[in-house]
Amino acid sequence: GESVGLHLPTLSVQEGDNSIINCAYSNSASDYFIWYKQESGKGPQFIIDIRSNMDKRQGQRVTVLLNKTVKHLSLQIAATQPGDSAVYFCAENIGGRGSNYKLTFGKGTLLTVNP
Amino acid sequence: DGGITQSPKYLFRKEGQNVTLSCEQNLNHDAMYWYRQDPGQGLRLIYYSQIVNDFQKGDIAEGYSVSREKKESFPLTVTSAQKNPTAFYLCASSRTPGQGNSPLHFGNGTRLTVT
């Protein structure tokens, strides 16, 4: 089966709250991870990525945390807004440097932000 | 502005007909990819190309064909041999794989319905 999965298929939060979306992976050789946001009827949009030599990376309102000990990846969204409502999924690269074709994608978590 | 353009957005075909999905990018990326997305499943790789005039089968290449005659273009043909062609098809591109891992940039997809 897939080595990338999600703890929660759906997540509902209030506007202004922080959101945390989780992703588990099973391949300890994975060295590159990406989070994508996909709105209905559109293609996935890159949010943030992280390499295995890091455990945290911050972007605008988003933070990705990588815990290699337990093979866990999370995406934190600060002050969640209605426009953040979408499916979020993670991807891992198990192929090493220069092998984007070996990305494995999770099934996604649906985030709903209530006004 | 730079990006990936997929056309058409919606496509309807009769069973037994081949159909070609268009993908054009102006990001000057060397690598291009085709994925299939089905409800409740992660993205699955159909074909990828790391350089012009070269392409490789992905995980689910049966019933599909591609060409890469130009850097900007990577059309996908869904042949009558594909048993379950109805799906959402996503094209992506990334910078030169040899420069290290980088995120894939996706188009907004083509929804193909075969009846």
Among A30, A12, A13, A33, CA closest to A75? A33
Q: How far apart are the first and last CA of chain B?
A: 36
- The DSSP secondary structure of A15-60, one letter per residue, reads TTS-EEEEEEE--TT--EEEEEEE-TTS--EEEEEEETT-SEEE-S
pLDDT tens track for A34-65:
999 999 999 999 999 999 999 999 999 999 99
pLDDT > 70? residue A2: no
Yes or no, beta carbons of A107 and B41 under 8 Å apart: yes
Residue pLDDT, tens place only, B47-89: 999 999 999 999 999 999 999 999 999 999 999 999 999 999 9
Judge: B33–A101 Cβ closer than 8 Å, yes or no.
Answer: yes
CA distance B5 to chain A (A): 11
Q: Contact B100/A98 with Cβ under 8 angstroms? A: yes
